[in-house]
Structure 1
Amino acid sequence: MAATSAWTVRSHDAAPRSEWVARPRYAPSDFIVLLWRERFLMLAVFAVLFVIGAAVALNLKTTYPASSSILVRLGQEYVYEPRAGDAGRGAVPDSDQVIQAETEIIGSSELKQRVIDRLGLMRIYPELAKKFAEASAAEKRVVMGQAVRAMETNLKIQTAPDTPIVRLVFTHEDPKTAALVLNTLLEEYLIFRRTVLVEANTPAMALQRQAFETRLEEADSAYEDFLTSNRIADFVAEKAALSQLQSQIEQQKYLTEAQLQDRSGRLAALQAQMGQVEPEVGLYRDVNNAASDKLIELKLQREDLLGRYRPDAQPVRALDAQIARLEAGISEGRTTGEGARRIGVNPVYQTLQTERIQLQAEVAALRQSLDALNTQMSQLLDRRLKLAELEPRFQALSLDRDVLQANVRDFAVREEQSRAAREIAAASNDNIRIVQRATAPARGSSLKKPVLVLAFLFAGFTALCAGLLRMFLRPGLPTPASASRTLDLPVLGMAPLKAA
């Protein structure tokens, strides 16, 4: 015995302890063997769970989904129209907000209640209809709530970002009922949305308009009394006309003053010039041209002599001497004499005198025009001061009158627009178009196969977990290989397990 212990205990092993528990160490090959040992337990667990899942799957009913789609666009009912004032007028939500609002209306419980009331509970949910017929008044409300919740569960509303299409899917056990319910839902939706989005006809706007009309009549009366008492036909037109007329008269006055100064200056200068101009002046005088004529005659004679004599002949030289003396006398002015003279009225003096008379008349006329313009300016200024004194009162009356007129006009327009919008909305839904109506689906959908597959997978997984749990909870070392790895000792032999 001592020899066996020495043979089996190695020098590097720790000393044996009195109480020692080893945790089994497994290899992948051990799992196959150990799970095979637990095959009956795993098979039992799998069979029980799969049978239960199969029973549940086989009891599931086939449902038929009916689908439809609508196109949602921005409508007049989404344009903001303030009751008073223009703050925010014309503001509109974006497309996603419009889609969200329409989907909320489609998904409202009241709309589903309308569909149930129209088709009848027996046509949609016969089982709930039987309960409803046998229930009390309080229980009937509960049953109706169950029907509405069932419709909410079976109805699916699908939207996509930046897409004006809303898709509706309603599932039911009967394909015809699914299509009928969905089409009825769309029809009731087109009616129901009008009551939600279109403002109801209230007399408040008409009463407010009548109140403004009464105040406007009082303002008109005060306005007419003001104009009549001050003898004004049109205050604004008269003020503008006076301003324009004053501007014209001032311009004419400045022009008249400039012309008067011009004429006065010209008259003073003309009178100064007349003192320097003689009243009479020589009209013309005769000039004595005898010497010139004599010179021409001598030159003609010389030419005649040259035809008979040579230039240095005595007669020609004598004639040249006469011509030279005569030319010298003409050049020195000894041969010039006074001719006849005539004296008459100086035309310059006469012109100056005529112009002075005209300027004197113009100056007198311009002075009279200037006096008349000054008188007109004074009258216009008095009238404008009177209008300026009356203007604050006129502005107050006009402002009250204009504001009341604008309010009456706005309320009348809004009242007509509201009436027209209600009538149009009651007749059509232009911004909502049904793209596709629901038809009875030819193929239904059922969860039998998916439930069977899930039941199979769940049963298999649970059975595997049960086998692993049973495997790990068994005492001892399950296989020789596991014992060798756990105890770090070689296994020399193995005996079969003897039945207890």
Structure 2
Amino acid sequence: MAPRSDWAMRPRYAPSDFVALLWRERFLMLAVFAVIFVIGAAFAFSLKTTYPASSSILVRLGQEYVYEPRAGDAGRGAVPEAEQVIQAETEILASSELKQRVIDRLGLSRIYPKLAAEFAEAPAGEKRIVMGKALRAMETSLKIQTAPDTPIVRLVFEHEDAGTAALVLNTLLEEYLIFRRTVLVESNLPAMETQRLTFQERLAEADAAYEQFLTSNQIGDFVSEKAALSQLQSQIEQQKYQTETQLQDRVGRLAALQAQMGQVSPEVGLYRDVNNAASDKLVELKLQREDLLGRYRADAQPVRDLDSQISRLEQGIEAGRTTGEGARRFGVNPVFQTLQTERIQLQSEVAALRQAQATLNTQLAQLLDRRLKLAELEPRFQALSLDRDVLQANVRDFAVKEEQSRAAREIAAASNDNIRIVQRATAPARGSSLKKPMLVLAFLFAGFTALCAGLLRMFLRPGLPTAQSASRTLDLPVLGAAPMKA
């Protein structure tokens, strides 16, 4: 057999034993259940009925969420995501400042009369504590509900009075539409105006320095004058090259013309007379022969004499011995005269071209000096122009942004296009209370606690509670059992 200390501390139970053993502890369990249930019921009946007023708003992307940089254009037009907009509007709705505005508008006595009385009796140092209690009570009563991918925000406010619940929630929405403007639309007009005036003063100084620079250097328009000088220099250089080409052409033609004039005679024969005496003599002799042939025969002496003369004269004519110079007339050679006229013209053209070349060289030298002067002044001009351009752009940008900010603020003050109240709060007809859930919870908790107390008492009792438990614990049959005596 096992020692007594082993089996006495570890009795064995069967499911059927629990019913009998718990019934033995029924009075303890009933007492524990009654105490806890009475306490829970008393707490449940002390809960007050609240009336939940509900409302909803539609939140869309508005102008106030579009990013507008104060300077430059980096990131202009960037907008947050829809979830971020909903989160921002939810934070504004849940802010303590908004609740304080509602309390200031309706009065603490209208919303929480007990806290109003406590606030009136509290000293100055504790008034803030009482107001903090009111804000915490509003925060507890106000529920803000959102859903993913939904631009609707639902609001629920619970209060003991149905009319007060609707009034507080509607006032909250009205103050929210006003309060969000001060949060989202910042008033940066004074800063922009101050910065714009500063840029205008700097721009006036830059303009004065720019004008003084142009006046001291006798420049009307630097860019235009530089471009005009460059264009004029190109034109003069082109004229110079054309003049040099023409001059070389005229000089070459003049040299060739002078060489030709050396080969042409200044005078030329106009005409000359031809001497025909030999031919006339020959004709006369032939006529005489024909005349003699009429009186003499061909072999007569006079005829032979004439034939001899005719033969000698013909031989002289053929040999050219009978030809002589006639009268001649000479005059000015027109070719020489034309060459001389052209030479005079070329000489005048050469002189004119050389004069033009000298003038163009002088002009080019003057233009080059002026362009070098402008090139020397250009860095200073670029610096002054850059300062003026930057300041003008800044003045223009800040003036535009100032007007845009003023217009955006005025539009935002006049309307809330991106926030629409879908449903305003109305006084709820039915209230909600936690009495029934609390009674059920108190009943369940009291029953569970009573059961735990019964089990604890059952397990803490010494000995073997039943014959079946003794048999299982000792592994011995129980032959009989006697009732417990007092």
Q: Into which bin does the TM-score normalised by the smaller protein fall? A: 0.7 to 0.9
Q: 2:197 aligns with which of 210, 222, 233?
A: 210
Question: What is aligned with 2:219?
Answer: 232
Question: What is aligned with 1:494?
Answer: 480
414-423 vs 143-152, which deviates more? 414-423
* Partner-residue secondary structure (3-state), 2:57: strand
Per-residue deviation, 1:455: 1.2
What is the alpha-carbon distance in structure 2 between the residues aligned to residue 19 and residue 86 of structure 1? 90
Q: What do the CA deviations read for 1:310-358 (whole angstroms, capped 9, x no partner)?
A: xxxxxxxxxxxxxxxxxxxxxxxxxxxxxxxxxxxxxxxxxxx9xx99x
What is the alpha-carbon distance in structure 2 between the residues aligned to residue 403 and residue 375 of structure 1? 41
AA of the residue aligned to 1:393: R
Q: What is the 5 A alignment of 1:7-406? A: 17=3, 20-22=6-8, 23-200=10-187, 203-250=190-237, 374-406=361-393
What is the alpha-carbon distance in structure 2 between the residues aligned to residue 16 and residue 175 of structure 1? 74
Q: What do the CA deviations read for 1:135-174 (whole angstroms, capped 9, x no partner)?
A: 3333333222211111010001122344332221111122
What is the alpha-carbon distance in structure 2 between the residues aligned to residue 367 and residue 102 of structure 1? 88
What is the alpha-carbon distance in structure 2 between the residues aligned to residue 460 and residue 17 of structure 1? 39
In the alignment, structure 2 segments of 5+ residues that lack a partner are: 261-338
Q: Normalising by structure 2, report the TM-score.
A: 0.73
101-110 vs 456-465, which deviates more? 101-110
* Partner-residue secondary structure (3-state), 1:434: strand
Q: In 1, are the aligned partners of 2:144 and 2:154 still within 8 Å (CA)? A: yes
Q: 2:409 aligns with which of 419, 422, 429?
A: 422
* Partner-residue secondary structure (3-state), 1:475: coil
Q: What do the CA deviations read for 1:47-104 (whole angstroms, capped 9, x no partner)?
A: 2222222222222222121111222233333344444444554444333333322222
Residues 126 and 18 of structure 1: CA distance in aligned 2, closer, same or farther (over 3 Å): closer
In the alignment, structure 1 segments of 5+ residues that lack a partner are: 1-14, 275-352
AA of the residue aligned to 1:62: T
What is the alpha-carbon distance in structure 2 between the residues aligned to residue 384 and residue 134 of structure 1? 90
* Partner-residue secondary structure (3-state), 1:166: strand
What is the alpha-carbon distance in structure 2 between the residues aligned to residue 87 and residue 447 of structure 1? 56
* Partner-residue secondary structure (3-state), 2:55: strand
Instruction: Tell me the matched-pair count.
Output: 412
AA of the residue aligned to 2:481: A
* Partner-residue secondary structure (3-state), 1:71: strand
Q: In 2, are the aligned partners of 1:201 and 1:419 still within 8 Å (CA)? A: no
Q: 2:441 aligns with which of 450, 454, 475?
A: 454
**Structure of greater Rg:** 2
Residues 16 and 50 of structure 1: CA distance in aligned 2, closer, same or farther (over 3 Å): closer
What is the alpha-carbon distance in structure 2 between the residues aligned to residue 420 and residue 150 of structure 1? 39
What is the alpha-carbon distance in structure 2 between the residues aligned to residue 71 and residue 167 of structure 1? 9
What is the alpha-carbon distance in structure 2 between the residues aligned to residue 255 and residue 167 of structure 1? 89
Per-residue deviation, 1:228: 2.2
Per-residue deviation, 1:414: 2.8
Per-residue deviation, 1:115: 0.6
What is the alpha-carbon distance in structure 1 between the residues aligned to residue 473 and residue 357 of structure 2? 137
Q: Normalising by structure 1, report the TM-score.
A: 0.71
What is the alpha-carbon distance in structure 1 between the residues aligned to residue 224 and residue 361 of structure 2? 24
AA of the residue aligned to 1:241: A
Q: Percent identity?
A: 80
Residues 97 and 252 of structure 1: CA distance in aligned 2, closer, same or farther (over 3 Å): farther
What is the alpha-carbon distance in structure 2 between the residues aligned to residue 417 and residue 482 of structure 1? 92
CA RMSD of aligned residues (A): 3.8
